[in-house]
Structure 1
Amino acid sequence: MSELMSALFAGAIALAVVLHLAWLARSSRDRARASLAADAASIRAVIPDATDVSDGTAGVATWAGSWNGERVQVRTIVDTLVTRKLPTRWLSVTITEPVAVPGTFDMMMRPGSPTTFSNFDHLEHLLPKASAFPDQAVLRTNRKGATFPQDVIAAHAGIFAEGRAKELLITPKGVRIVWLLAQADRARYGVFRQAAFGEARLDPALIEDLLTAASSLRHAINQRERQAA
């Protein structure tokens, strides 16, 4: 093969590679747009006035609206921290209404490595745990000596028995539940380092269940405070 033919052949291969990479990038963007549209549709099936209020943070999409007369926030988070074996996709559901607690109460299930969705590791004080809480739960707060109605909280934490609920955060500004949606496809991540989550989609019924759990807990805490006043 002449040098000219060799150069032409090498150029053709290089062009094919460039075009293939461009196609992959375009396909990835198309999938991301389709996934975002599907998520928005699922959220608006439960929260009709949900508005995309994302701030541009990579891997994070946030919607805010109202549900049953309460302000709420729904967020999806792709956690790609190198301390994790596989990227993970989380669903965060928050009732953003006042709660009668003296500080931050944070319950994390099986804490082992840092997360991108929580400040749990930065809370300085461990809380003694009532026996009604799950064995693998760890409780922390930002206020030493603060007391929380643990009996009320534990009575409304049944959703954590399913194994996919990761965090329960209660502050004076609201109640949040974080749920494991999916882990990345191991083969694709191992070869291409792509955080692909297959057909994992937001389920409106799951969003409704998490909102109901968070709202019921908030009302129970506030009712206890009114009774004690």
Structure 2
Amino acid sequence: MSELTSVLLTGAIVLAVVLHLAWLARASRNRAKAAFAADEAAIRAVIADAIDASDGTAGVDTWAGSWNGERAQVRTIVDTLATRKLPTRWLSVSITEPVAVPGIFDMMMRPGSPTTFSNFDHLEHTLPKTAAFPDDAVLRTNRKGVVFPQDVIAAHAGIFAEGRAKELLITPKGVRIVWLLAQADRARYGVFRQAAFGDARLDPALLEELLAAASSLRQAINQRERQAA
């Protein structure tokens, strides 16, 4: 093979690789756009006035609107922390209305590693819990000595028996439930280091269920406070 032929062949191979990488990047962008549009459609099926409230944080998409007369927020979060075996996609659903609690109440299921969606690891005080809570739940707060209506909270935390609910956060500003949507495809992540979640999409029925759970818990806590007053 002549030197010129060798150079031309090498150039052709390099060009083919560059074009293939460009095609992969374009295909990835198209898949991301389609997935975002599908998520947005599912959210607007439940929260008709939802708007894109994302702040540009990589891997985090946020929508805000109103549900049954209450302010609501839906967020999807791709967690790629190195401490996890596989990247994980979380769904965070919140009712952002006042709650009659004296501080932060954070229930995390099976806490074992840091998360990108929660400040649970930064809360200094662990709460004793009643037997009504799941065995794998750990309760924390930001204020030592505060008392929360654990009987009311536990009575409205049945959704955590399903195994995919990860966190229940209650603050004076609202109630949030975090749910495991999907884990990345093991083979694709192992070979290409890509956090691909296949056909995992938001289900309007799931959104409705989580919003209803957060709303009913908030209302029950506020009702208990009014009765106590």
Same-fold status (TM-score > 0.5): yes
Aligned ranges for residues 148-187 of structure 1 at < 5 Å?
Answer: 148-187=148-187
Aligned ranges for residues 80-95 of structure 1 at < 5 Å?
Answer: 80-95=80-95
Aligned ranges for residues 35-74 of structure 1 at < 5 Å?
Answer: 35-74=35-74
Q: Structure 2 counterpart of 1:165, which letter?
A: A
Distance 1:114 1:173 in 2: 23
Query: Could you say which residue in structure 2 is the equivalent of 1:114?
Result: 114
Distance 2:153 2:97 in 1: 17
Q: Deviations along 1:149-176, whole A, 9 cap, x unmatched?
A: 0000000000000000000000000000
Q: Deviations along 1:83-131, whole A, 9 cap, x unmatched?
A: 0000000000000000000000000000000000000000000000110
Aligned ranges for residues 1-229 of structure 1 at < 5 Å?
Answer: 1-229=1-229
Distance 1:191 1:200 in 2: 20
Distance 2:170 2:228 in 1: 19
Q: CA deviation at 1:186?
A: 0.0
Q: CA deviation at 1:209?
A: 0.1
Distance 2:48 2:220 in 1: 26
Q: Secondary structure at the residue paired with 1:46?
A: coil
Q: Secondary structure at the residue paired with 1:180?
A: strand
Q: CA deviation at 1:194?
A: 0.1
Distance 1:162 1:6 in 2: 61
Distance 1:130 1:210 in 2: 23
Distance 2:63 2:52 in 1: 4
Q: Structure 2 counterpart of 1:88, which letter?
A: T
Q: Secondary structure at the residue paired with 2:161?
A: helix
Q: In structure 2, list runs of 5 or more residues that go unmatched.
A: none
Q: Secondary structure at the residue paired with 1:143?
A: coil
Q: CA deviation at 1:65?
A: 0.1
Q: Which runs of 4+ in 1 moved over 6 A?
A: none
State the identity %: 86
Distance 1:146 1:109 in 2: 21
Distance 2:211 2:5 in 1: 65
Q: How many residues are matched?
A: 229
Distance 1:147 1:16 in 2: 65
Distance 2:195 2:100 in 1: 39
Distance 1:144 1:111 in 2: 20
Q: Deviations along 1:49-68, whole A, 9 cap, x unmatched?
A: 00000000000000000000
Distance 2:188 2:121 in 1: 30
Q: In structure 1, list runs of 5 or more residues that go unmatched.
A: none
Q: CA deviation at 1:184?
A: 0.1
TM-score normalised by the chain length of structure 1: 1.00
Q: Structure 1 counterpart of 2:76, which letter?
A: T
